[in-house]
Amino acid sequence: MKNLLIIVLVLGAINWIFTYKSSTATIVNNMTVDENITFKGVEFKSDWDDDVTEITNYLRQKDRHYDKGMPIVTYNLILTSGEYNDPEIVSIENKGGGNYYWRANKQPQGSIMFYHLIPSSAEIQTKLDELEVGKLVTLRGKISENNKIVSSDNYYVSLNHGNHKYILIADVVQ
């Protein structure tokens, strides 16, 4: 029995090591945001638009995002309008790592956008944590023009679809 308990504890510890995600509060409390974003000594750069963009749409899906190499992205939101709001018309599957697949039996009317969010402060992260699916959401922030973020330790991510955007969130209203 004692050996079984030790095996269970070791397997649990291994699982925790491989699946651990820092809390969103821990991440944002270790970030500084100015011209670039710094997290635990690593600098992250993108070509943020000079102007703040305001986006208002229906929050269809909210997923916690965690990538050890790019921890500054804390959530992925799917914002929709029109028929994309209806799960009976459009189904959405999260494939993990910020990748999504949607399908419909006909071409839906409206829009679907996938936003990968970077909070500008702990206050903004708290507002993001409290967002509820099924509500109208307004995001205000700067969008990455080339959809690419590069870190000072040579890690980078790039979004390859026109309806996926990185956004540095300055404010959120629900």
Residue 112 bridge partners (DSSP) = 80
Whole-angstrom CA distances from 2 to 7, 9, 11 are: 9, 11, 14
User: Which two tokens mark 169?
Assistant: 């969130």
* CATH at 39: 2.40.50.140
Total domain count, the chain: 1
pLDDT digits (tens, 9 = 90+) for 22-50: 688 888 899 999 888 999 999 999 999 99
Residues of the domain holding 156: 2-173
pLDDT, residue 12, reads 59
**Rounded alpha-carbon distances, angstroms, from residue 107 to 12, 29, 60, 82, 102:** 46, 43, 18, 12, 11
User: pTM of the entire structure?
Assistant: 0.84
**Phi, psi for 134 (deg, rounded to 5):** 95, 5
- Name the band, by pLDDT with cuts 50, 70 and 90, for residue 82: very high
pLDDT in tens, 89-107: 999 998 877 788 899 989 9
Q: Which of 79, 81, 83, 75 is nearest to 103 (CA)?
A: 83
Q: Is 104 helix (H, G, I), strand (E, B) or coil?
A: strand
Identify the residue whose tokens are 């189904």. Answer: 91
Q: What is the reported pLDDT for 8?
A: 65
